[in-house]
Amino acid sequence: MRSALHLHGRRLYLAIWVLVGLLIAGLAGSVLVLLYKQRSADLADSRAGVARLARGAEVGMNRTLLAVDVLLATFEELLGEPRPAGQSLYEQARAPALAAVARQNLMLRHVMLLDDAGRPIVAFDEPGGAAPSGLPAPEFVRQALAQALPGLLLGNPVPGADGVQQVLPVARPLRLPDGRRLLATAQIPVEALAAVLMQGLAPSQVELTLERSTGELLIGLDPERGLDERSHVQEGLALQDAPGAPASAPQGYTRLRARPGLVSARALMYDGLWVTASLPRTAALADWAALARLSTAATLLLIASLVLAGALATLHTRQMDLARGALARSKALLDQALGVMVSGFVLLDRDGLLVQWNTRFEEFFPWLAPLLEPGLPFRRLLQATVHYHLPGASAEAKAAWVEERLRHQQAADSPLEQHLPTGRIVQITERPTPDGGVVILYHDVTELHQAAADVEHLAFYDPLTGLANRRLLLQRIEQAGADALRTGLHGAVLFIDLDRFKTLNDTLGHEVGDLLLGQVARRLQGAVRAGDVVARLGGDEFVIVLLRLDRHPDTAQAQARGVAEKVLASLNQPYALDGHVHHSSASIGAALFGQEPQTATDVLKQADIAMYEAKSEHGNAVCFFAPSMQQALSERAQLVADLKQALPEDQLRLYLQPQFDGAGRVVGAEVLLRWQHPQRGLVGPAQFIAVAEESELIVPIGRWVLATACALLGRWQREPQLRELCLSVNVSARQFRQDDFVPMVMGCMAEAGVRPHLLELELTESLVLENVAESIDKMHQLRTRGVRFVVDDFGTGYSSLAYLTRLPLHRLKIDRSFVQYLGERHSDEVVVQTILGMARNLELDVVAEGVETQQQHDFLAAHGCTTYQGFLLARPMPVEQFEVLVRQGAAAP
Ligand code: C2E
Ligand code: MG
Ligand code: MG
């Protein structure tokens, strides 16, 4: 591309300079031709002028000499007349007639007659003079007389009689009838002849001569110097002496100054005499030379202008080349940039005609590719595209789409999106350019849309089950609440919590738990109508929102109950979980909404409360929310607030319930917590332990119980009657799960100086099962230091007893519920017998709690129970009372 441009540039330079050269050559050529022609014309003119002058001089000179010749010849006639006798020649010669003749020609001076010896006969100017002035030189006389054919002879110039003026002597031999030979002589002032030569013209550059063919100069008229005084010119004319012959005169040099020039020579009638006119070439060409100088200057000026124009054109071309190169480079760059752009690009001019586009655009709209060419109206592109966007639409609808699209381009406020037939989505952004055109960018936003959809799904849906999450649920309840208020139709929220899900999760693993949750989700969806919402709040908590129930609250409640029971029944069906067949149940709390404005959170909370109610009734039940539950709840909240004050305000008390051996001796006690509340009075643990556990208050409270019990044991060490007594301390799950539980226990014992085997920790079956591994680990740490463990409420747990062998247990505590019906329910008797038998096999002690009758005591004793606790024997009592009891017992025989 670049070299092509370069070449292009070079050719252009060449063309420019060839053109300049041709113009210069043409100009110079024509000027030269013109000058040459002008020169030739000038030369011809000058030559003609010179020839004319020469001819004029010839004519004048011939006439003048002829006149002189005739005048002198006249003497021959006059003297040839018969002379009166006695009259001598001299006398005859002095006759006035002759003198008159002699004066006829004013040009002639010193006209005289000489005899053949050269002696003067008569001098007409000085008739008396014996030796007249102006006598010709003897040599001239002899020459004149010696002529073969007598004629006028011109002598060479000599100084005149006045010594100043040059004169030309002339002579003509005369032959008298008597045979005597005379000579008529005279002088012609050179100036006079010069005037004849000049023909009365103003002096010009022309040199005029009267000369002999031998080169003797008779008269030379130099335009600058006047009369030339030389006697010879450089070289003779050596021409044929044909009088009046045209001048084949020597060209080349002017006669006087021998300058190169034009010469015209003409022979006179008189032998050997010539007149010449010669003009120096410089003079002949003076005008031409001026013209030539002017033309040359003008031509040079023109040439200079042409060269300058050429240079400017070259410079311009070079700049254009550079600019074009820069343009080409930036265009290539632009093309490259457009080519690699991830967005489609289209540029339209102010008339909506296509200017530029990139390949990405063609990829988006492949059907447009064959149409694309610069200058194509954008409307055409839309018309070709609309078919793909509205395949089945009518022609009007398509036309309307095109118009709408063009209108949008005018407004170009917000980007619009277009779905391509490939399923991809492009975002179209249109921006005006400064020159009134439009830049259109096509950006593929398919992934963006997908991501947005994914994000929305993540934000609103539970990833495990695909059900709505809490956020979406709250939105839906809010919306359903508003709808219900408007329509008067009720809605209901069912809060579903799986019973004992945690145990399943812990025993079979999270994967199995997840499987169950997935199946539960599907069953819930199957149990409701399409419009109803099913959501998972997290863990094993699900929520169903029932819409469009009856206007009447009772009917609506009956409808909701119907659905809830259907759900329960469905969830009761066995599950196939990774090879296991699992049975599960759920607790459902239900709350109606739509009677009054409520927030979604409130509705959900009501259902939640109702669910707890169902759960507290051992699950697998439906419970509707009642305002009394709310009441209980707020009381509970108050309880929590009060409980927070219990420790700092020293309201907690330890009660001890004695434990007896078979012989009725007190061997220890269970530590039972009481809360001495300023208003409520003495509050039992059943009312606040659960609340304390939920609110984490159990951790500091439990620590206080343990520390106080240890302190008590420590104090008892100093009293022999008390020092062997054991204390059983109840440990709640949350307390046991604390990371620092083991060091905390050890710390309490160490601080009080307690022998570890006197401290027994009561753990419930479910606590141990929550996290068996952790439980075993912590129990081992404490057991190896002497602390004993007892499983409280033994028998209420539902799992197998196999784990018992793995736990470092000391005792089992048979739950009150089994003891209660001993002697009444055979099944309970079997359970108690089994527990006792098993404990024996595992070499574990057994303590029975809740022993209220002698019958129970006897049954237990009969089957090998070792320790007894119950109202039959003693109720929980303050520490002082317990100590009194022990001391009395010890004192008794
Ligand atoms: P628990 O560990 O099973 O304690 C025995 C409960 O049975 C005590 O109730 C006791 O008063 C009661 N009881 C004893 N003998 C009889 C009887 O013959 N008939 C009947 N009907 N009941 C009898 P209390 O003191 O109300 O304690 C209730 C529960 O509170 C305890 O059950 C225990 O789980 C918990 N608890 C008590 N104190 C603490 C404590 O300091 N820490 C923790 N974590 N829990 C405690
Ligand atoms: Mg207990
Ligand atoms: Mg118990």
How many whole angstroms from 836 Cα to the centroid of ligand 2?
18
**What is the CB neighbour count within 10 angstroms for residue 124?**
23
**At 241, is the pLDDT very low, low, confident or very high (cuts 50, 70, 90)?**
very low
CA distance 811 to 839: 8
CA distance 97 to 735: 192
Amino acid type, 747 = G
> What confidence score (pLDDT) does residue 273 get?
86
CA distance 260 to 258: 6
**At 102, is the pLDDT very low, low, confident or very high (cuts 50, 70, 90)?**
confident
pTM exceeds 0.85 for this model: no
How many whole angstroms from 670 Cα to the centroid of ligand 1?
8
Highest mean pLDDT among 193-197, 419-423, 471-475: 471-475
Q: Higher model confidence: residue 701 or residue 272?
A: 701
How many whole angstroms from 656 Cα to the centroid of ligand 2?
11
Q: Probe ligand 1: pick from 734, 792, 819, 849, max atoms within 8 Å of CB?
A: 849
CA distance 103 to 265: 32
Q: Give, as one character, the DSSP assignment of residue 647.
A: T
> What confidence score (pLDDT) does residue 249 get?
46
Residue identifier of the C-alpha nearest atom 16 of ligand 1: 850
> What confidence score (pLDDT) does residue 202 get?
65
How many whole angstroms from 174 Cα to the centroid of ligand 3?
203
> What confidence score (pLDDT) does residue 1 get?
45
How many whole angstroms from 672 Cα to the centroid of ligand 1?
6
**At 130, is the pLDDT very low, low, confident or very high (cuts 50, 70, 90)?**
low
Does residue 663's CB lie within 6 angstroms of at least one atom of ligand 1? no
Whether the Cβ atoms of residue 20 and residue 307 lie closer than 8 Å to each other: yes
How many whole angstroms from 723 Cα to the centroid of ligand 2?
22
Which token pair is 444?
Answer: 């593929």
Residue identifier of the C-alpha nearest atom 43 of ligand 1: 730
> What confidence score (pLDDT) does residue 514 get?
93
> What confidence score (pLDDT) does residue 247 get?
46
How many whole angstroms from 670 Cα to the centroid of ligand 3?
10
> What confidence score (pLDDT) does residue 238 get?
55
Q: Higher model confidence: residue 580 or residue 875?
A: 875
How many whole angstroms from 873 Cα to the centroid of ligand 1?
15
Reported as a single tens digit per residue, the pLDDT across 633-686 is 788 888 899 999 999 999 999 999 999 999 999 999 999 999 999 998 999 999
> What confidence score (pLDDT) does residue 242 get?
47
Q: Probe ligand 1: pick from 647, 682, 683, 689, max atoms within 8 Å of CB?
A: 689
**At 595, is the pLDDT very low, low, confident or very high (cuts 50, 70, 90)?**
confident
Which ligand sits nearest to residue 869's alpha carbon? Answer: 1
- Whole-angstrom CA distances from 447 to 338, 443, 790 are 22, 11, 61
Reported as a single tens digit per residue, the pLDDT across 435-446 is 888 999 999 989
> What confidence score (pLDDT) does residue 456 get?
80
Does residue 822's CB lie within 6 angstroms of at least one atom of ligand 1? no
**At 820, is the pLDDT very low, low, confident or very high (cuts 50, 70, 90)?**
very high
Residue identifier of the C-alpha nearest atom 45 of ligand 1: 730
Residue identifier of the C-alpha nearest atom 13 of ligand 1: 850
**Is pLDDT of 281 > 90?**
no
Q: Higher model confidence: residue 881 or residue 458?
A: 881
Q: Mark 858-884 as b/e (b = at least 16 C-beta within 10 Å).
A: ebbeebebbbbbbebbbebbebeebbe
Does residue 150's CB lie within 6 angstroms of at least one atom of ligand 1? no
Does residue 876's CB lie within 6 angstroms of at least one atom of ligand 1? yes
Atom of ligand 1 nearest to the CA of 764: 34
Does residue 685's CB lie within 6 angstroms of at least one atom of ligand 1? yes
Ordered alpha helix ranges (H), 738-891: 741-752, 765-770, 772-783, 816-820, 826-841, 854-862, 879-891
Atom of ligand 1 nearest to the CA of 820: 19
Does residue 849's CB lie within 6 angstroms of at least one atom of ligand 1? yes
- Whole-angstrom CA distances from 25 to 19, 294, 352, 782, 804 are 10, 18, 53, 123, 126
Q: Probe ligand 1: pick from 730, 736, 853, max atoms within 8 Å of CB?
A: 730
**Is pLDDT of 259 > 90?**
no
CA distance 755 to 587: 46
**Is pLDDT of 67 > 60?**
yes
Does residue 814's CB lie within 6 angstroms of at least one atom of ligand 1? no
> What confidence score (pLDDT) does residue 891 get?
66
Query: How large a percentage of the chain has pLDDT more than 90?
Result: 39
Which token pair is 668?
Answer: 């220890």
Highest mean pLDDT among 152-156, 302-306, 783-787: 783-787
Mean model confidence pLDDT for the chain = 87
Which ligand sits nearest to residue 685's alpha carbon? Answer: 1
> What confidence score (pLDDT) does residue 811 get?
93
Which ligand sits nearest to residue 822's alpha carbon? Answer: 1
> What confidence score (pLDDT) does residue 630 get?
84
Q: Higher model confidence: residue 147 or residue 887?
A: 887
State the average pLDDT over residues 477-505.
91
How many whole angstroms from 117 Cα to the centroid of ligand 3?
206
**Is pLDDT of 591 > 70?**
yes
**At 129, is the pLDDT very low, low, confident or very high (cuts 50, 70, 90)?**
low
Whether the Cβ atoms of residue 268 and residue 274 lie closer than 8 Å to each other: yes
Q: Higher model confidence: residue 430 or residue 242?
A: 430
Does residue 672's CB lie within 6 angstroms of at least one atom of ligand 1? yes
Q: Residue 267: which H helix or E strand, with range? A: strand 260-267
**Is pLDDT of 837 > 80?**
yes
For 447-500, give the secondary structure using H, E and C: HHHHHHHHHHHHHHECCCCCCECHHHHHHHHHHHHHHHHHHCCEEEEEEEEECC
> What confidence score (pLDDT) does residue 701 get?
96
435 three-state secondary structure: coil
How many whole angstroms from 506 Cα to the centroid of ligand 3?
24
Residue identifier of the C-alpha nearest atom 22 of ligand 1: 850
> What confidence score (pLDDT) does residue 557 get?
94
Does residue 125's CB lie within 6 angstroms of at least one atom of ligand 1? no
How many whole angstroms from 778 Cα to the centroid of ligand 1?
24
> What confidence score (pLDDT) does residue 731 get?
96
Q: Probe ligand 1: pick from 735, 816, 818, 852, max atoms within 8 Å of CB?
A: 816
Does residue 707's CB lie within 6 angstroms of at least one atom of ligand 1? no
Q: Higher model confidence: residue 577 or residue 131?
A: 577
**Is pLDDT of 245 > 70?**
no
How many whole angstroms from 817 Cα to the centroid of ligand 1?
12
Reported as a single tens digit per residue, the pLDDT across 719-774 is 999 999 999 999 999 999 999 999 999 999 999 999 999 999 999 888 888 788 89
How many whole angstroms from 501 Cα to the centroid of ligand 3?
24
Atom of ligand 1 nearest to the CA of 813: 3
State the average pLDDT over residues 428-434.
89
> What confidence score (pLDDT) does residue 240 get?
45
**Is pLDDT of 412 > 70?**
no
Highest mean pLDDT among 158-172, 191-205, 428-442: 428-442
How many whole angstroms from 720 Cα to the centroid of ligand 2?
26
> What confidence score (pLDDT) does residue 534 get?
95
CA distance 443 to 398: 24
Atom of ligand 1 nearest to the CA of 673: 38
State the average pLDDT over residues 702-713.
96
Which ligand sits nearest to residue 870's alpha carbon? Answer: 1
> What confidence score (pLDDT) does residue 155 get?
86
Q: Probe ligand 1: pick from 672, 697, 705, 868, max atoms within 8 Å of CB?
A: 672
Atom of ligand 1 nearest to the CA of 851: 18
Which token pair is 23?
Answer: 């113009």
**Is pLDDT of 508 > 50?**
yes
**Is pLDDT of 517 > 90?**
yes
DSSP assignments along 768-782, one per residue:
HHHTHHHHHHHHHHH
How many whole angstroms from 639 Cα to the centroid of ligand 3?
23
State the average pLDDT over residues 837-863.
93
Atom of ligand 1 nearest to the CA of 871: 18
Residue identifier of the C-alpha nearest atom 11 of ligand 1: 876
**Is pLDDT of 154 > 80?**
yes
Q: Residues near 419 by Cβ (< 8 Å), separated by ≥ 6?
A: 389, 425
Lowest-confidence segment of 155-159, 163-167, 429-433 by average pLDDT: 163-167
Which ligand sits nearest to residue 707's alpha carbon? Answer: 1
Which contacts (CB < 8 Å, 24+ apart) does range 234-240 have?
234/258, 236/211, 236/212, 237/211, 237/213, 237/265, 237/274, 237/276, 238/213, 239/213, 239/265, 239/267, 239/274, 240/267
